[in-house]
Amino acid sequence: MSNSVLKMMMIIIDRNKTEKLLSKLEEVGVNFTHVFRAEGTAKSEILEMLGVGHPEKSVVLSTLTKENVIKVKDILAKDFDILKKGNGIAFTIPITSVGGPASLQILSGMGLNGGKS
């Protein structure tokens, strides 16, 4: 794990899909995740007129290995139809520096005990 490249993935989806997403992330071993409540930028009247739904969103930040990026992108495409306009957005940012071995273990999902129970 220490040689794996870490990425920060930001996913913005409808809030009502958050629990399903978190469950799917956990299934593939992504276990360092933060969720923030957010709102879309379109006015409610416009959304209702277009039949798009509610502007309530979740911003999900996760650290994951380069290998897990591919798995999560597949999940987003298959289970959340994120490639279709209006279903969300996801992107990654490389993590090029971490402030110590304990931080690296936590961010890489290994915890302070190196992934041992």
pLDDT digits over 47-81, tens only?
655 555 567 889 999 999 888 999 999 999 999 99
Strands (E), the chain: 6-14, 33-39, 56-65, 89-94
Q: Dihedral of CA 83/9/32/108: which sign?
A: positive
Residue 102 or residue 54, greater confidence: 102
Share of the chain above pLDDT 90, in %: 44
Share of the chain above pLDDT 70, in %: 69
Give the residues across from 36 on adjacent strands. Answer: 59
What whole-number distance in Å separates Cα of residue 88 and Cα of residue 15?
10
The CA–CA distances, whole Å, from 108 to 35, 67, 115 equal: 17, 12, 10
What whole-number distance in Å separates Cα of residue 16 and Cα of residue 2?
35
Residue 101 or residue 112, greater confidence: 101
What whole-number distance in Å separates Cα of residue 33 and Cα of residue 8?
10
The reported pLDDT for the residue numbered 96 is 79
**pLDDT band for position 5 (50/70/90)?**
confident
Structure token digits, residue 102: 């304990």
Pick the CATH number of 6-107 from 3.10.180.10, 3.90.550.10, 1.20.20.10, 3.30.70.120: 3.30.70.120
Give the residue from 8, 35, 3 showing the smallest Cα distance to 107: 8
DSSP annotation of 4: S
Q: pTM for the whole thing?
A: 0.75
